[in-house]
Amino acid sequence: MDSIPPTASPPASDSDPSTRCGYIALIGRPNAGKSTLFNSCLGQRLSIVTPKPQTTRGRVLGILSRPGAQMIFLDTPGLLEARYQLHRLMARQIELAVREADAVLLLIDATSPYDRRELVQSFVAHNQKPLVAALNKIDLLAPLALEGLTKALERELGVPSFLPISALRGDNLEPLLDQLAGLLPPGPFLYPEEMVAEQPERFFAAEFIREAAFNQLSDELPYAINVVIEEFTERQPKTFIAATIYVERETQKGILIGKSGGKLRSIGQEARRQLEEFLEQQVFLELWVKVRPDWRDRDDDLAEFGYS
């Protein structure tokens, strides 16, 4: 990772009236590609991405400083119907991000454009912030289908235009960033130019472990997982990280650990590789598994785990 100063630093400049600076909330249904786009815009893997929906559970902040504009992106969980208290808290994170935002980037997945149709329609109808709409994953769409689809979506959502993009390939990211920067208010940069993230390394460590678990587990189990970092100590030659993975049932614990501990070992290996790349340092990762029955619906557990 390029830079996470240990503490938030004071504003880099407070005198240049020619710059723009503000917050941009990324909004869309689960799996639309919000976190992929967030990472592509920042040029760094900061927010976890998996093929499964509901990967992102909270707000992730990423800062992009370009000549003349500082864009502070807020990645958010996907718009979805709440089945658990956890989902209600995820929806709250979306609300808070939009409230904080100077502009909203609505992302629609071209491969399933009408998923969560009512939620997306209702979001657009109630939105009061300047909005840019983008149609993502156009690399998977037949070129002929694109025009009809963007027109239909523009009509249906009452959005003046959709910018076709591919967050994965990087198509049309520059025009997208230019549009977004133009919506931000004039003002000095809020963060030093070299700063990319402000959340602590422990947060990202927990996220990369959850990402590996998401990638290697199936069905409901990835959703029943929460990761808590118990220790994060920078040591030579390896940073020591100990984490507990919580599940909701004894049976889930068995599946997560796997035969002779094989599954947990494999998740640990994937997470360690990602962490070493992220921290640019060797990591010793110790994983524990514990059961916390129904934590997704229990306010005290959710608060303890930092969802609030």
Ligand X SMILES: Nc1nc2c(ncn2[C@@H]2O[C@H](COP(=O)(O)OP(=O)(O)OP(=O)(O)O)[C@@H](O)[C@H]2O)c(=O)[nH]1
Residues making contact with ligand X (CB under 6 A): 28, 30-36, 49-51, 53-56, 77-78, 136-137, 139-140, 166-168
Minimum gap (Å) between residue 175 Cβ and Mg ion = 23
The distance of closest approach from Cβ of residue 75 to ligand X in the complex, given in angstroms and rounded to an integer, is 7
Q: How far is the CB of 141 from ligand X (least distance, A)?
A: 9
Q: How far is the CB of 39 from Mg ion (least distance, A)?
A: 10
What 8-state DSSP symbol labels residue 186?
Answer: B
Q: Out of ligand X, Mg ion, none, which partner does residue 32 contact, by CB within 5 to 8 A per kind?
A: ligand X
For the bound state, the minimum distance from the C-beta of residue 136 to ligand X, rounded and expressed in Å, comes to: 5
Tell me whether residue 49 or residue 149 sits nearer to ligand X (CB atom): 49
Write out the DSSP string of 204-265: HHHHHHHHHHHHH--TTGGGG-EEEEEEEE--SSEEEEEEEEEESSHHHHHHHH-GGGHHHH
Query: Residue 239 and residue 228: Cα distance in Å, rounded?
Result: 17
- Give the H/E segment covering residue 162: strand 162-164
Site residues for Mg ion, 2-61, by CB under 5 A, read 34-35, 55-56
Tell me phi and psi for residue 147, to 5 degrees. Answer: -65, -45
- Compute φ and ψ for 204, nearest 5 degrees: -70, -35
The listed partner (ligand X, Mg ion, none) that binds 164, CB under 5 to 8 Å by sort, is none
**Nearest distance, CB of residue 239 and Mg ion, angstroms:** 26
Nearer to ligand X, 38 or 189 (CB): 38
The interface partner of residue 19, options being Mg ion, ligand X, none and the CB cut-off 5 to 8 Å by kind, is none
Q: Which residues, including other chains, have CB under 8 Å from residue 184's CB and lie 6 or more apart?
A: 20, 21, 22, 24, 69, 71, 102, 103
Q: How far is CA 281 from CA 3, 235, 285, in A?
A: 13, 10, 12
Contact between 207 and 48 under an 8 Å Cβ cutoff? The reply is yes
Q: Which C-beta is closer to Mg ion: that of 30 or that of 268?
A: 30
Q: Would you say 31 or 150 has its CB closer to ligand X? A: 31
**Which one of ligand X, Mg ion, none interacts with residue 167, CB within 5 to 8 A by kind?**
ligand X
**Which residues of this chain interact with Mg ion, rule CB under 5 A?**
34-35, 55-56
